[in-house]
Amino acid sequence: MSNNFITNNKQQKTLKGRLNTLISISDELKFLVGYFYFSGWSDIYLSLQKNPQQKLKLLVGLQVCNYLGNIIEYAEKDEEDSSRDEEFQKYLVSLGFALNNEEMDTEEFYNQVGFFVQMIEENRLEIRKTENPNHAKLYLFHLNEDQAEKQGMPGQFITGSSNLTRSGLHNQEEFNVEIKDYGYADAVQYFDELWERATPITEHLDNRKILIDFIKNKTQVATITPFEAYCLVIKTYLDLQNQENEEVDLDTLLEKIDLKKFSYQSDAVNQAIQMIKEHNGCIIADVVGLGKSVIASMIARQMNKRGIIICPPGLIGDPEKKDSGWWEYLEKFGLHNWQVYSRGIIDRIADNIEGRDFEVVIVDEAHYFRNQDTSDYEALSMICRGKKVILLSATPFNNSPADIFSLLKLFIVPGKSTISLEDNLAGKFSRLNYEYKQLSVIFKNWNSSDDKKRKQAESYYTTMIDENLPIDIKKVKAQTKRLSNDIKRIISPVVIRRNRLDLKQDYIYAKEVGDLSEVKDPEEVFYYLDKEQDEFYDSIISKYFAENGVFTGAIYQPFSYEKILSDKLDEFGNRQYNQQKNLYDFMRRILVKRFESSFGSFEKSIERFLQVHLLVKDFVDKTGKFILDRSFIDRIKDFELEEIEANLEKYAAGDLKRKTPKNTEVYNVDTFHRRQEFLDDIDSDIQLFKDIQKRLKDLRLVENDPKQEEIIRKIKHLLANEPNRKIILFSEYVDTIHHLEKRFKSEFKNEVLVCDGKVSKDLARHLNSDFNAQYNRGLKTNHFKILLTSDKLSEGFNLNRAGVIINYDIPWNPTRVIQRVGRINRIGSKVYDELFILNFFPSLKGADIVKSREIAQQKMFLIHNALGEDAKIFDEDEEPTPASLGSRINSNPQEEGEVNTITKIRNLYADLQNKHPEIIKKISELPPRVKTAKSYSEYELNVLRRKGLSLFAQTVGKNENKIIREIDFEELLQKIECKINEPTLKLSSIFWGLYEEVKEFKPKYKMGRTEISLEQKAEINLKKSLKILKNLNYENLNFIQMLIKDLRYYHTLSIGSIRRIGGQELSDDKHSIRSFLEEITYLKKQLGENYLDDIELKSKGKSKEVIIAIENNDEKELFN
């Protein structure tokens, strides 16, 4: 009897082997199975094919469904009044689950399913569904005449545990028994009785036709044309972008608060809510003036959760009257359980976050937090941990990969990414940042006169771009463009970005927004210096504060005096040197920009700089020491200049209260390698500042400021021509606004409103009532015609009752100018048909307009050279000239690049719907993993895949081009675009091999040396602590092990937090141990003892599936 047992044990027989043997000697088969899974079909396919006269009756006992990506059987409850048509439809649904299972995405199934259809068409295969659920497995074999006579029996049967699946037939252990000598007739009778009562699936001609049509057109083996595939790709993209959200219904609320409804805003709300559900956060990155704050408020209202808003101080608004800033939005949108906080107190928010009951964080002007290695970012990271995060920024792309990654890290777990095919987003961005740094070095030094710098650039170029020199800067630009596209593609699942071109060209949005104001090209306005003033102007820029000029900046870079810089520096020393060199350059450039801005502003800076230097000299003389605060250096670029100068003065005076001693670098000047030179250079800078002060006084540039006089004359002229057109004058510096204030109020009396960077409640009220066209009609006033303001108001305020922007400083940063213009160019509240921009430039008295422009261009060129990297006006392959610089600065800032992908696809799909509705209907019923092929100039396989709600396009060539690449969606469309009559080719002989490689592909990334170094040091310290600290309590032990796991697999800690545990090597001395434990205690308090548990729970991997594969065949490949 034991010989009759079939267990699929490799040493014994398998059910697959026995079935094929018995099929080969039988003329009729009767199988009763739980369900007919096609994974088992391939195992008996050849045997059935070899017996063309053989018939198979297949009786199916159960239904199947898709559960968490797996196909499972289930017994459906009996429905007494269920008709046979209804049973047939249920079977079709089950068949769809079985045939469209990912396990069936194989060459075998693709090639063999045709034979299955053929057997149905020829009546060789009949399928019925049992009347009642039946889990039995019975395989009956009616032997052919020869075998029946030879064996002396009509047939035999097998019964047991195995379903007709690959696993049941041979892949897993089962228990079946083959019975020959008894019971066959009874088994046949049992089967036939079930068969008679069962629902026919294939016998009814109409049902058979429906079934065959279903297999051919609604399963993953469906035949589709290249044009249908093209339409399917477009439809899939839009379907995922436009996931319906039943909760989004804001029409009544918008009407109540007197806000016009725009589809582009409600679409953004819909998309954002889906992004937040899928990825835990999103970035609203519409350009200035499209209403990011309104969209964020609408999202918050729809989510119906408690939350907080973190924003610049000037955007908070009045918490009592709630008629301005974010408090006004909260009031209007009924967000009464929300709070607004200034980012200036973010450390206090983080320290007191425990126990606060909020679920959502909105961060306005989020690009401020682009540097992970700051205390502000670390605090924000603590606040956002475990929350839903909405980031607002009009400039997310204007930063390095590391900056963008910092923003993503606020809501995405980098080690378990939901926005990339692979989980390791940290590794991906590390590679991108590594390439970005190399490209930056090439751009900066490719034609440097410094041999060492130029050779470094050439080394990077030959490694990553082209092994042949000289450097072709166009190739470098192309590589940079690819890098930029890579970043945009990666972050696209969580970014909503539209510009005015999108609104103008979208087939729906354009009808709603109507005509937008036209921003005219900037007008040049010149002010005139006399000869002495002109000479002083040029000396400041090209002599005193130029690169390698008279100003030494010794107090900003003590490290270069302390060390012998020719010695090889370690990582920490190199970081110190670069930071301090950058600080010196930063201060030098700011003095140049302050001078260009206004003589009054420059005078203030010289006064402060002199005061700081005198305090430093006195401190060094008395103590022999010098102090520099490292955390201040880290944050220097985030301060306004007035804050920088005030802080430097505090440091110099020794008054600044530092949070931790480790932020302070104390230098012993007596040990400096270049001690005397350090002291002499401080004296030299002091004398320089005194000389400049004297020269400013002698030339009376502050009292009789020619630039100020010209701007007043110009504004009088503008107001005389258009008295109702309000004017906003922007300056980068508060001191410039203060310098202008007195004279303006003297000339224009009470018609001048001044914002010096601090937005008080009264100022916010005046800004709204006098400059905001969308403000409550009954509260509007008309007291002011002129607004003098710093760039504090270039972000977040509606000032669209003004029609003129004056850039009082040279607008080196185009993004900043776009932000300024965005304050007056608002969607939905057009006031003027045309908007004007004025730019101010210096020239020489007596010059005509042509000569004035030439002189101004020369001076701008001097400033441009002095500012270096701070004035990124030209592309790297352009040869800067004064004329080209003038042309570039005076270009229209509203030219916002190209139309975004989503707009192109929305319009394209709308056109397809109008022209080919029948194709849209057909592709709407297609499952994933369909395939097609067409002719193309070169061979490539293009695969569109999905992970969660994100799409990913991959392409691979053949032979030397057999490299799997991820490409952006527009590139995919270019590769698959075709006409409706494009012929369909068969899949080639190399298709399946490449297809499987694409599905299995897992990219590997190497992390940059700095990131590895810091994370490794932190992990080494943590491991060492487990050995050194014998008396660790359970909580600390568990927390340290959790930190190690995070560093290895999840990468959620900010660089600032990692530096706390890895910045200094842990040793066994008491001070080192105490300091380390203090940091562990701090992190445990801020993060929570079990912070990783929730992350692990929420970071379960999302399933991936192929949507479609399109083979572009150069027709040199053989067809299958």
pLDDT tens figures, 28-44: 999 998 766 666 777 88
Domains of the chain plus CATH, in order, are 2-217 (3.30.870.10), 412-491 (no CATH), 551-699 (no CATH), 705-889 (3.40.50.300), 927-1120 (no CATH)
Tokens encoding 16? 């697959």
**Shortest CA distance to 796 belongs to which of 214, 442, 343?**
343
**Pairing of β 518-519 and β 834-844:** parallel
Tokens encoding 297? 């408020």
d(CA 196, CA 265) in angstroms, rounded, equals: 61
Confidence of residue 657 (pLDDT cuts 50, 70, 90): very low
Contact 556, 579 (CB under 8 A): no
pLDDT of residue 888 exceeding 70? no
Distances from the Cα of 565 to the Cαs of 270, 572, 664, in angstroms? 57, 14, 22
d(CA 498, CA 401) in angstroms, rounded, equals: 21
39 Cβ neighbours under 8 A, 6+ residues apart? 103, 104, 165, 166, 167
Query: Alpha helices, DSSP H only, in 797-900?
Result: 814-822, 849-867, 882-889
Confidence of residue 662 (pLDDT cuts 50, 70, 90): very low
1006 Cβ neighbours under 8 A, 6+ residues apart? 427, 430, 431, 434
Q: At what angle do helices 675-699 and 531-539 cross, to 10 degrees?
A: 160
Contact 274, 949 (CB under 8 A): yes
444 Cβ neighbours under 8 A, 6+ residues apart? 453, 457, 869
pLDDT at 167: 66
621-643 mean pLDDT: 62
Amino acid at 865: N
| pLDDT tens readout for residues 335-373 | 999 999 999 888 888 888 765 789 999 999 898 898 888
pLDDT of residue 881 exceeding 70? no
Range in 536-540, 648-652, 725-729, 813-817 the model is least confident about = 648-652
Tokens encoding 671? 């040990």
Tokens encoding 680? 């002499």
pLDDT of residue 795 exceeding 80? no
Quick one: three-class SS letters along 76-116? CCCCCCCCHHHHHHHHHHHHHHHHCCHHHCCHHHHHHHHHH
pLDDT of residue 515 exceeding 60? yes
Identify the top-confidence range among 156-170, 518-532, 688-702. 688-702
Confidence of residue 65 (pLDDT cuts 50, 70, 90): very low
pLDDT of residue 133 exceeding 90? no
Rounded to two decimals, the pTM is 0.81
| pLDDT tens readout for residues 705-756 | 899 999 999 999 999 999 999 999 999 888 999 999 999 999 999 999 998 8
Tokens encoding 534? 């002109």
d(CA 1011, CA 1020) in angstroms, rounded, equals: 14
Residues paired with residue 988 on neighbouring β-strands, in sequence order: 1119
pLDDT at 534: 85
